[in-house]
Amino acid sequence: MLERDLVLTDADFARIRELIYQRAGIVLAEHKREMVYSRLAKRLRHHGLTRFSDYLARLEKQPTAREWESFTNALTTNLTAFFREAHHFPLLADHVAKCRGPVRVWSAAASTGEEPYSIAMTLIETLGNRAKDAEVVGTDIDTEALERARAGIYPMEQVRKLEESRVKRFFLKGSGERLGLARVRPEVSEMVEFGTLNLLAPEWSVKGPFDAIFCRNTMIYFDKKTQARILERFAPLLKPDGLLFAGHSENFSYISERFRLRGQTVYVLSPR
């Protein structure tokens, strides 16, 4: 089958952009057209379809179909790494060291698990025995990414980028058929609870309060109206002195009055 055996018309692309915006709040720019073609063409071939219009019509006729999950997964970008944007983790460590009672942190775009596991490792390093009572909640809209997150198994070349002391403490190296892979140790994985969550859903399954919320490199896919609505919903889930971590290219200062900048892409609740 030729790579370009399918035709993505302007009308098809416009419908896809509207559907993913309605479903997940994701704003697809014009330059994402090639990405959309390559990812959704696989879904058409899976169903034996030859026209994007037929695939989209099938989706629209079945609002509760499982294919919506695959559609959303296909158009979700999962770019992550262990201790990505490393300057955030010492700030988290300093903050939780001062917390009283069990510590709770929410990773609102958990992807394949690297971020929530990095948070859990930071809590273990910082809290010592108190980490047994700590909880990390990892949520994402991409169900396939969450399956990989729950497995906690990663290529060794990805894990080797960490300090050797962390590799030894927090990972089990695979052997035999698992050679070249590493699994997150149970003391880390048992701290993290993963679940599916669409930030646009009218109800969220997560319950606060949290000492910190990580929502990094996710807001860039939403328009300003959606960003403001999500930030308004984050606010009551944070403890009064809690921290909200944003991505390096995100600025919430001009979107919501509920948060003020405390440091490099780190926000706290604004005083009432």
Q: How far apart are CA 239 and CA 196, in angstroms?
A: 23
Q: How far apart are CA 24 and CA 226, in angstroms?
A: 10
DSSP string, 11-58: HHHHHHHHHHHHHH-----GGGHHHHHHHHHHHHHHTT---HHHHHHH
Residues 12, 15, 104, 140: which is the catalytic one?
A: 140
Q: Which two tokens stand for residue 246?
A: 């944003």
Residue 140 appears among annotated catalytic residues: yes
Residues 23, 33, 39, 148: which is the catalytic one?
A: 39
213 CB-side CA count, 13 A:
26
Closest CA to 198 of 55, 59, 52, 75: 75
Q: How far apart are CA 134 and CA 192, in angstroms?
A: 9
Q: How far apart are CA 109 and CA 198, in angstroms?
A: 10
Q: How far apart are CA 215 and CA 222, in angstroms?
A: 12
Residue 142 appears among annotated catalytic residues: no
Which residues have a catalytic role annotated? 39, 140
